[in-house]
Amino acid sequence: MIIIKIGGGAEINLQGIIRDLAQVKDKFIVVHGANALRDKLAEDLGQPKKVVTSVSGYASVYSDETMIDQMMMAYAGAKNKRIVELCQRHGINAVGLSGLDGKVVRGVRNKAIRVYEGGKLKVLRDYSGKPEAINKDFLDLLLDHGYVPVLTVPIIDEQNNAINTENDDVVRVLQKAMCAETVINLIEAPGFLENKDDEGSLIRSIRAAELEAREQQVDGRMKRKMLATRRLFEHGASKVIIADGRGEHPVTDALAGKGTVIE
Amino acid sequence: MIIIKIGGGAEINLQGIIRDLAQVKDKFIVVHGANALRDKLAEDLGQPKKVVTSVSGYASVYSDETMIDQMMMAYAGAKNKRIVELCQRHGINAVGLSGLDGKVVRGVRNKAIRVYEGGKLKVLRDYSGKPEAINKDFLDLLLDHGYVPVLTVPIIDEQNNAINTENDDVVRVLQKAMCAETVINLIEAPGFLENKDDEGSLIRSIRAAELEAREQQVDGRMKRKMLATRRLFEHGASKVIIADGRGEHPVTDALAGKGTVIE
């Protein structure tokens, strides 16, 4: 079992990825983002992301109902259905699912955060959280009958609310539940870079045991990505490939060892 | 088997409909629209519907790629996932699907139309068509395992393109494929009205044999709706209820015979 995570950047070559996937013999599940599309939609609608800062100084995107609607439109709507359409054109009988559908990805909603707004202390709670469990029976039912699940956010919380979460965390619980040996993470870079501003500084292989040290080298989204990668190995993954989603053959190249192979 | 068609108007009481559905003992499938949401999205994005007029004088909405993207956002994205969320809150294990997913609704794309644009004859082909077939095995697989399909447009054509179609036509092929005895059509009116401007002029019952004559009484969308209803009986439906989707208990009321019952 392979999990293919497709980043939501504008430069990702979806056509190439799906064409490659049509040649893959193993069972696989797709998890995809849509952040570039969501940001464009939010901008076009004149409803940009709201960022709130907690009293402890931690900044986060505030996922209110409007933002969840946008997420449903961009991730579960246009991007998911265009990927399903591409899959069908290449003979992959895809079924696009948010985490709500068949409760396929269940999570726990984040607790309230305390923020200062206009000098006043306020308690806010948004629709975001962490994935915790997978409806494995449902995914097996689809896979056993020849359907390929194409998953995206939002997911569903313990009160059956749609909530935002990180797709990297979805991949983590999915890998564990489905006992996937291989995870391919397709991003807008050649892989894990020694120097994030130099695409020539690709690190071709990393031992899983090195990951904790590597995490210290990086910051921001890449740090979270490395942490998520480390956790995959704690739950039995044997190979994670961080590879370029922009090339002509992103999946074939990744499986041939291009990118950063972590074992 | 019951098919519940939920209109896409802004006044439809989704909460009431889903609460009622949680009490229904028969197997059922939901088909829903989202026209009010799509129109609002198109307006907010500054990309209103394009209407083209063929050389034979027939006006139709032009479904280009941008419009299909909007349809994916509004129908298969926000509206579909909010309905699935509501279902999950009421204990219905819903799985939201466009016609692309598992090729559940396959159709045939419309041929090119000839239009005059700026005095010149042009040949245009958009992404619209007619549904022709249902992946019954897939729907049975879901239903037999306790999942409730929640279907919407777009559907998939013979070249695996996403295409726009009428949900009433989706209901027609679905009823035939699934041998559904009962179809409930929830709209923003008390049912079929003798005088469309007078909600007090509800016709409580119509014999199926009368439908052709009734079609002559009406025009526009209602005429197409009556034609679609007549076809349901040609394919073995025994009861169609056109009922008010705006009340407190739309489904319970419809099943109790409120609205227009056609037998």
Mean pLDDT score across all residues of chain B: 94
pLDDT in the model for residue A154 = 98
| Å between A158 CA and nearest CA of chain B | 10
| C-alpha closest to that of B136 among B176, B109, B163 | B176
Low-confidence ranges of chain B (pLDDT < 50): none
Chain-centre distance for alpha carbon B250: 17
Asked if the model's pLDDT at residue A152 lies above 90, the reply is yes
Asked whether the beta carbons of A129 and A108 are under 8 A apart, the reply is: yes
Cα angle at B134 between A154 and B100, to 5 degrees? 35
Which of A19, A47, A100, A157 is best to mutate for the B interface (most B CBs within 10 A)?
Answer: A100
- Position A85 confidence tier, pLDDT thresholds 50, 70, 90: very high
Q: For residue A170, name the pLDDT band (cuts at 50, 70, 90).
A: very high
pLDDT for A57: 78
Candidates A30, A45, A85, A158, partner chain B, best to mutate (most B CBs within 10 A): A85
Collect all residues with Cβ–Cβ distance below 8 Å to A105 and sequence separation of at least 6: A99, A131, A133, A134, A135, A151, A155, A156, A170, A173, A174
Q: The pTM is what?
A: 0.96
Q: Decide if B185 touches A, using CB distance below 8 A.
A: no
Which residues does chain B have within 8 Å of residue A81's beta carbon, measured at their own beta carbons? 72, 76, 98, 100-101, 154, 162
Chain A residue at shortest CA distance from B81:
A72
- Average pLDDT in chain A: 94
Is B141 within 8 Å of A145 when comparing Cβ atoms?
Answer: yes
- Amino acid at position B224, single letter: R
Question: What is the number of CB-based contacts under 8 A between chain A and chain B?
Answer: 119
* ipTM given for this complex: 0.95
Above 80 in pLDDT, residue A123?
yes
Residue A89: predicted pLDDT: 98
Q: What's the pLDDT score for residue A186?
A: 97
Which residue, chain included where needed, has tokens 């922009």? Answer: A246
CB A262 within 8 A of CB A215: no
Contacts of B44 in chain A (CB under 8 A): 45-46
pLDDT confidence band for A78 (50 / 70 / 90): very high
